[in-house]
Amino acid sequence: MLHDFAIIGAGFGGSLMALILTRLGFRVILIDRGQHPRFAIGESSTPIANIILSQLAKQYDLPRLAPLAEYGSWKQSYPQLGVGLKRGFSYFQHRLGQQFQPSFNHESELLVAASAGAHDADTHWYRPDFDEFVAQEAVAAGVEYSDLTDVRVEPDGSQWLIEGTRAASPVSWRARFLIDGSGEGAVLARRFDIKSQVHQFHTDSRGLFSHFRNVPRWDALQGFSRGQGLEHPFCEHPYPCDDAALHHVFDGGWMWVLPFENGITSVGFSLDRRKYPVRTDLTPVEEWQLMLSRFPSIQEHLANAENVLPGNKMIRSGRMQRWAARATGPNWAMLPATAGFLDPLHSTGNAHTLSGIERLAALFSEHGLNVNSTDFQEALKTYETNLHAEVHLVDLIVHGCFRAMAHFPLFAAYSMLYFTAAIWAEHRRRNGLWSKQDAFLGATDSRYVQIVEESYRDLIELTQQPRLTATEDHAFLLRMRERIAPYNLAGLCDPGRKNLYPFPV
């Protein structure tokens, strides 16, 4: 039987795309080589991700997905799905061989609140549960689903022939349009030998990560939980710093700590490969121990952590970046994380994936599967052009942050490029100002892109200096404040805030 769409990859991206296309009346086959529930990485959501999820739920009549867009409604509707509370983004600076040093001026901390309270907060998605739930919703809506299936994809005239095996039996489908949501599986890029443009990225990082039990709260570990001992600087935090995407930042890399309420915490290093090339002489576990031993307070944070993956597996990736030179063709498209990915810093991945799904859904809703029409092809091309602009922009932001990690005041100031764009986009969406021309994080807004490019050049020049004075740091912060002024809705880059930004009301 001929399907309208074949979607490769049943991560939350592929499954959600399948669900929406089914709601639009298309016949969809969704194929994954794995089986839910399974370990997956990419867990921390953001306000933009949640606004898009909620808007998609509304627009495509998916009321069962809507509660997942906020912590409070998630907990109330789906207590069985693993989740973590994310009130904001917390960053702490570490120096090689030294204990973490808090100060009354918060020079080694940066906290940016992303919600007013717990109820409307963002979440960490425990992906084994989250992805399985979305796939089950797709199946319940009428998507045909084949898991544990290895396939080859072949263009055949105006159709796709998808052939493979499931449980040693041959399977095959035909479809009019193929969507590749296989992520690092890169099914289409491999099949057509699509050129990688990853060499154009400045960011060059790799991951070393797993899931753990027994990871204590960082604020408790420091002995100064919020609300105790007014003399301690943590008391000024705009939210409890562990109810967040918590980042330990150091010269050449950073660590994410994302606690779920089921007792599991996602923890991993993202390391600049130029500073920390992979230690092939060490096992991933040995390299993990070595990295921890370099930063005493991080080591303390993970001292009793128990790896929960089978065989205590630590995952050591190669370069995390990918960027396919083509993200679309006449009758195919890649989802964002399949076409291009940078680094987990600032949690851009899932929001980017959702924004791509939103655009593809709008395209198929408006043009149907009229692949021979010029309008359809132009819309598909725009999707691709935007993806390219978006990964380019994220690269400048993320790489600049990596460069600044050695010098936290620059990191804190430069990171505001991400928060400015994110809060601007949230504002546009919440106030009905968003238009379908808006790209992710303002990537096609030439004025904003110019601000990022100028700030990037400025930062790179500064980070070439062997030493920076407090006066130079302050001057950079003020330059950043001046640059972002036309978009700065949340009083970012304000020296008076001492790196602590409450939720703007």
Ligand X SMILES: Cc1cc2nc3c(=O)[nH]c(=O)nc-3n(C[C@H](O)[C@H](O)[C@H](O)COP(=O)(O)OP(=O)(O)OC[C@H]3O[C@@H](n4cnc5c(N)ncnc54)[C@H](O)[C@@H]3O)c2cc1C
- Using CB under 6 A as the binding rule, whether residue 349 contacts ligand X is answered as yes
DSSP single-letter state for residue 46: -
| Residue 97: CB minimum distance to ligand X, A | 26
CA–CA gap between residue 418 and residue 47 (Å, rounded): 13
Nearer to ligand X, 263 or 318 (CB): 318
How is 441-486 classified by DSSP, letter by letter? GGTT-HHHHHHHHHHHHHHHHHHTSS---HHHHHHHHHHHHHHHGG
DSSP single-letter state for residue 314: P
113, 337, 379, 459: residue in contact with ligand X (rule CB under 6 A): 337
Scored b (16 or more CB within 10 A) or e, 436-468 reads eebbbbbbbbeebbebbeebbebbeebbeeeeb
| Residue 356: CB minimum distance to ligand X, A | 8
| Residues 304-333 close enough to bind ligand X by CB under 6 A | 320
- Using CB under 6 A as the binding rule, whether residue 47 contacts ligand X is answered as no
Reduced to 3 states (helix: H, G, I; strand: E, B; else coil), residue 3 is strand
| Residues 351-410 close enough to bind ligand X by CB under 6 A | 351, 353
- Using CB under 6 A as the binding rule, whether residue 340 contacts ligand X is answered as no
Nearer to ligand X, 267 or 363 (CB): 267
6, 7, 14, 408: residue in contact with ligand X (rule CB under 6 A): 14
| CB-based contacts of 79, cutoff 8 Å, min separation 6 | none
Token reading at 340? 């291009």
Nearer to ligand X, 182 or 331 (CB): 182
Nearer to ligand X, 11 or 442 (CB): 11
Cα R_g (the chain), whole angstroms: 22
| Residue 462: CB minimum distance to ligand X, A | 28
- Using CB under 6 A as the binding rule, whether residue 130 contacts ligand X is answered as no
CA–CA gap between residue 143 and residue 137 (Å, rounded): 9
- Using CB under 6 A as the binding rule, whether residue 259 contacts ligand X is answered as no
Give the per-residue contact string, 207-236, with ligand X (x = CB under 6 A; - = no).
Answer: x-x---------------------------
| Residue 202: CB minimum distance to ligand X, A | 18
| Residue 270: CB minimum distance to ligand X, A | 7
- Using CB under 6 A as the binding rule, whether residue 284 contacts ligand X is answered as no
- Using CB under 6 A as the binding rule, whether residue 110 contacts ligand X is answered as no
- Using CB under 6 A as the binding rule, whether residue 37 contacts ligand X is answered as no
| Residue 34: CB minimum distance to ligand X, A | 4
Long-range pairs, 273-278, Cβ under 8 A, ≥24: 273/204, 273/205, 273/206, 273/319, 274/204, 275/251, 276/206, 276/252, 278/206, 278/316, 278/318
Stretch that binds ligand X, among 70-78, 153-161, 342-350, 398-406 (CB under 6 A): 342-350
CA–CA gap between residue 64 and residue 62 (Å, rounded): 5
Token reading at 153? 């994809």
What are the E-state strand segments in 56-97? Answer: 83-86, 88-93
- Binding interface with ligand X (CB under 6 A): 8-14, 31-34, 40-44, 151, 181-183, 185, 187, 207, 209, 268, 320, 335, 337, 344, 347, 349-351, 353
